[in-house]
Structure 1
Amino acid sequence: MSRLNSVVDTTSTEHKANRAAMLDKLAEIEAEHAKAVAGGGDKYVERHRKRGKLLVRERIELLLDQDSPFLELSPLAAWGTDYKVGASVVTGIGVVEGVECLISGSDPTVKGGASNPWTTRKSFRAADIAAQNRLPTINLVESGGADLPTQKEIFIPGGRIFRDITRASAAGCPTVALVFGNSTAGGAYLPGMSDYVVMVKERAKVFLGGPPLVKMATGEESDDESLGGAEMHARTSGLADYLAVDEEDAIRIGRRIVARLNWRKQGPVPASDYGEPLYDAEDLLGIVPTDLKVPFDPRDVIARVVDGSDFDEFKPLYGTSLVTGWAQVHGYPVGILANARGVLFSEESQKAAQFIQLANQIDTPLLFLHNTTGYMVGREYEQGGIIKHGAMMINAVSNSKVPHISVLMGASYGAGHYGMCGRAYDPRFLFAWPSAKSAVMGPQQLAGVLSIVARQAAASRGQEYNEEHDAAMRTMVENQIEAESLPMFLSGMLYDDGIIDPRDTRTVLGMSLSAIHNGPVGGVGNAGGFGVFRM
């Protein structure tokens, strides 16, 4: 075995400072997550409870197998906007009757569960995850439909939600709707297009138009129950497959539906004889420096994440700013690409391209651990072909067929973000540590570039350059880019699937890999019609 020898001095001043900074960031993130958990606030939570209803996270907890974890996705969606943190919907992956499912639940304490523009974006991402990883979907429905003042941002793209449900069914991924309350207007199609529908007696209301709209449109007088009540849909329209007596009964029926799916994973089963890492995950809190310009050895992270701290490094003496190699996480084989000293040179790019081809040849998922400032610039490197070599790496990432997972540990700047499989390159999952930052380049570099351009423009016009204005501009730009590089901002924009505690990295990766293996895990077999190119 190739066990890593990781020597991290947890008693050093640097490690203690890094740890303290990371804990502070984790506390900030927890405070923001608490806002999502609080939903619409005490007033609306109390109103919901007085109606005898469970909160959305209570529904999810009852739905999941006892003591099984829930991998919540995009919990900080809409952070930094005028909408509630969490975007009025909870999404994630959990185990129901032994089956990993994508679970989505509206939060009725936030404007009655109405969908705003961020709700739709978060729902789209959840649907992508379900489709890419072949997961059954369970929707916990209680929503007043679209948030009408924002309809111009919802109506046109929002139709994709219903398209995704029907495509999931066509792909053999069952969809289940448990309807606890209102599901009106366009929302009526959510249960209408699901494979299985459970409605709660005297609570579920499903109609294209409620009594007021029917009155205005046709002149017909009607009431909620006769127009769209659960009993009517169970006995008359046939929209409801099951009539539940209460919420707990609906959840029980939902679990039985999943138990009868005869669900089988299509990916290889994990090894059962793996060991835990030899090093304490607690150490991960102090590994990333507070100043991301200071490099750290990603092997210290790998040693605390992979099975038995066992890592077979590939090309260890070549392109040393990028660590590549083979390992297992919770019994699942992975190929790892991890930035060691930030900058990617031609050697690292070629090494990565070859390694990615090898992973595809042997059907092994890839894990990207980000801490990069991007590809190297300068005359020597341009003449040496950094553009074509960087393009080679990005080409390999773009056309790789095995599943990818990305974790942003530190910096993830410029085209290095692309080469390391950033959001635009469709990793199955992308998570960030609280220490992560991502942007086109670092704040100081970006402000400096703008300053140089402005100086050159002033010189070309024969004007004197205003140094005071330059200093103010640089400060403003640096502050803006710094704010827009932080993980909470990026998570709010749905550019990651969640900010995770570094100590939970192994667990999160294990759950992600397990979800991925619901579908076939295959590369291109023969590297896309060619043998593996020697880079």
Structure 2
Amino acid sequence: MKVRIGGGASVEEAEAVAAALAEHVADDVEVYLGEAAEPAAVHDAPEDAAPESAEEPESELGPTEREERLREEIQDILSGGPEKYKDRLPDQDKLFVRDRIDLWFGDDESAATDAESEADGVEETDSDTDDPLLFEDGKFAHFDSWHPNSPDVEESDENNRLPADGLITGAAEFDGRDVHFMANDFTVKAGSMAEHGVEKFLRMQQRALKTGKPVLYLMDSSGGRIDQQTGFFANREGIGKYYFNHSRLSGRVPQICVLYGPCIAGAAYTPVFADFTVMVEGMSAMAIASPRMVKMVTGEEIEMQDLGGPEVHARESGSADLVARDEEHARELVANLVEYLPDNSDEKPPSQPSKPPAKSPEGIDGLIPEAPNRAYDMHDLIDRVVDADSFFELQPEYGKEIITGYARIDGRTVGIVANQPAQRAGAIFPDAAEKAAEFVWKSDAYNIPLLYLCDTPGFMAGSQVEKDAILEKGKKMIYATSEATVPKQSVVVRKAYGAGIYAMSGPAYDPESVIGLPSGEIGIMGPEAAINAVYANKLNDIEDPEEREEREQELREEYREDIDIHRMASEVVVDEIVAPSDLRGELSNRFAFYEDVEKDRPSKKHGTIL
């Protein structure tokens, strides 16, 4: 070590400085006076000297008793509620919540590799970077009220265990995507919500608003903890704020909910506020009130599954998008779904390498019957247009007259809205209209282009559908299509009658293209209805049945010529008639070309239609 001091110092002073420094830093020291080239004093380090800052050998350090005690407390929290409630889970085919979190966010591949290495006698080095992203917030919530290590607990009671206050929140990596998550612990007061759990839930939502990352709700809750409602029910930052935050998150980041048990009252609103909801057969249910409350209020006796099980919400209410066979299948469905979704509304949906369709596009024209009222399955056409194994259908059991789902065309994600002629001729019923409206609205929020496959006689008529709000729900479908600013392609597959062509993003609804297949027709109504409406009196005047039938056929052919797709193309109503075998390629080119199209809505606060 070399040190330079002022030139006015004496040699004796230089030697004193050198000796002191050598002792202190445990190194040889040379001291120079002023600008001198040679040292005025040199002092070697003492043989037994060591720097005062030297640390103790690493081998002497390790976890203290304090750290070990903390780890014991954490393990106790992770073990969940009373054992008697954990013991009941297998009979319900349920996983304990911590095992559920491992299923969703654990690194199975890494675990398998570690097991193989141990079996082979290979010693693995520790590496934090190999662990999957997973951390928890609020693990010690309510710790002071139940844990024996807390100074506030005089006597621990197993029945009063409240680890994490029954709610786990945090962030994790899920199939390559960073997500926020919450999960109820059903072993703690039946997954009920109370003050500290509510606080954790709200913080998780608020952090998702900041990060712009998706949210997973793994719900298994009986609702608010009635005997502890003070401090969380009616407060400004209480349980009611859940739904305020759900509304703010809606359309900003994907919210996906999986139900693992009967979610009652307030707990049932989270799944319906979510963008996508998955229920599990024989396990899930949601309802505004429990069967016991229903009986008390209305006198009706009903089982939970009949009140709000998967069958009810997948087929009747439309509140469930998908139904899983078991817990593993639920995770698989969500993993498939997120492959089509961006992290937030600022991003575009992910793409994948292109794959040829499962069935040849050359079979499209032969699939479509010439008669407009003959049935066929629109799924067969979809399979000939989209990449193989890419169609992911949503709400398949609800409003079956319309098919909705995500797919890829040449690797690009698209949302599909398709009439289903195999179901009531593809007429649009109230449930189908509502289903389509919500799907279009969600797809537009997350920048997913839309493909409409039109083959419908229009909106259904009749007294029952009027009672079921066909006008109101049809309005929502038309509104959603009108408001969507993503690229839209509309294909007139066969019949496009009445307001059906409006709802299916026809020429007036700002699509990037309207493509006709040679089987296409666009008209106010179909030939039979038109002839009956316009010529009924004249036909009734014809007494000879054969003459009448011949005249009807002439009128029918004349009308079909008037609404034929060639007439529509001649008048530039549609942009192009495409050979059915070329439909996939045509759509691929058009979606690629219009990928970055920009559309503006009129300046306003918002529309008046929900």
Q: TM-score with structure 1 length normalisation? A: 0.45
Flag the structure with more relative contact order, 1 or 2, with Cα contacts below 8 A and sequence separation at least 6.
1
Q: TM-score with structure 2 length normalisation? A: 0.40
Task: Determine which structure has more spread, i.e. the larger CA radius of gyration.
Answer: 2
